[in-house]
Amino acid sequence: MSTDQATAPADGNATDKAAWQRIVAKYAHASNARALWQVANTFVPYLLLWGLMYLSLGVSWWITLPLALLAGGFLVRIFIIFHDCCHDSFFASRRANQLLGYVAGILTFTSFEDWRRSHARHHATAGDLDRRGEGISGP
């Protein structure tokens, strides 16, 4: 097995952790080039599909339906980008993450600032069941 194909250290020993950190190091920093490519190959097709769905309504619902399913897949990708923008990890610039996060939030009907705050709380308390409050009602 090559170093690139190694799996996460199971026993947690220091040598395995160091090897794992070397493998994932190239993904630890935002790449504006990759981010812009993801914006182009996600947002553009999504908007084009909306246009095609609108035009297809005059022809047949049977054309619109598969287009809507495909657009739904792109909307999931938009939410994934939204998630990364909330972590300030999609672009190298915090301002660029905020701008795209607001746009993606509008498309996904999700408030950027509110979700960013609650999601940060989720990450801060996910392993602490006494403090984990997101999505739990009652005492």
Q: How much is the pLDDT for 60?
A: 97
Is the distance from CB of 109 to CB of 102 less than 8 angstroms?
Answer: no
For residue 97, is pLDDT > 90? Answer: yes
Instruction: Report the pLDDT value the prediction gives residue 126, as an integer from 0 to 100.
Output: 74
Structural domain spans, the chain: 32-125
pLDDT reading at 24 higher than 70: yes
